[in-house]
Amino acid sequence: MTRTPRTLVVVGHGMTGHRLVEHLRAHDRHGAWRAVVLAEEPRPAYNRVALSSYLEGRSAADLTLADRAFLTDPLVELRTAAPVTGIDRRARTVTTADGTVTRYDALVLATGSRPFVPPVPGRDLPGCFVYRTFDDLDALREAAREGLPGVVVGGGPARPGGRQRAAAARRPPPRRGTRAASDAGAARRRGSTCAHPARHRSRTAGALRHRRP
């Protein structure tokens, strides 16, 4: 008799969540588990560490981690643009923004982090960007103008430094630069822009795991 696979729900499809599912599928030779991956972004996992190379000319497809074998695996269900809005540990279910409820036997939260934007005046004005996703970089590139200066706030050893980001942003034909406003009034007068990349607050202390004993 064929045994029904147990369900692993992975919340988040970043690099960590993707590698977890790859590892599971590589070592689960008997198909004891099926993975349901709930991604907040509208695209599969990609190499976020190499994101600056997207500004240098590499395509989103070049940085995508999910190959055809992963996307067509019958024991992997990837749902993009499906942010999780609720977890019921007693009922062992996860609910996404569209109201879909998914049962699980094991649950992994691999949600990563969000950019920390310093609470300074002008941070919410047009032309201030964070640096984390393809959409962030598309907006930054669209705003670029040749000849105007730019300021990068943040940096760190886990990602390319601020100078590399600034250089990458300049390599495509620029249309507008960026500048960090010292106050809201100055930002409005200058029509300037700023970028807040690599400082993050983790929403989960690594990958938190919950499964039946």
State the DSSP code for 48. G
- The pLDDT value recorded for residue 118 is 84
Query: β-strand 6-11 against 106-109: which pairing, if any?
Result: parallel
Q: Could you give the angle at the alpha carbon of 64 between the alpha carbons of 62 and 65, nearest 5°?
A: 125
Q: Could you give the angle at the alpha carbon of 47 between the alpha carbons of 158 and 41, nearest 5°?
A: 110
- The pLDDT value recorded for residue 130 is 87
Query: Domain extents for the chain?
Result: 6-111, 115-200
| CATH, domain 6-111, list 3.50.50.60, 3.30.1370.100, 3.40.50.300, 3.40.50.1000 | 3.50.50.60
Q: 9 and 39 in contact (C-beta within 8 Å)?
A: no
Query: Can you tell me which residue has the tokens 């938190």?
Result: 208
> What are the mean pLDDT values of the chain's consecutive 10-residue runs (213 residues total)?
88 96 96 97 93 90 95 97 97 98 98 84 87 89 82 63 52 40 36 45 41 49
Q: 16 and 207 in contact (C-beta within 8 Å)?
A: yes
Token reading at 103 = 């049962």
Predicted TM-score of the model (pTM): 0.71
Q: 178 and 193 in contact (C-beta within 8 Å)?
A: yes
Q: Which amino acid is at 55?
A: L
- The pLDDT value recorded for residue 155 is 67
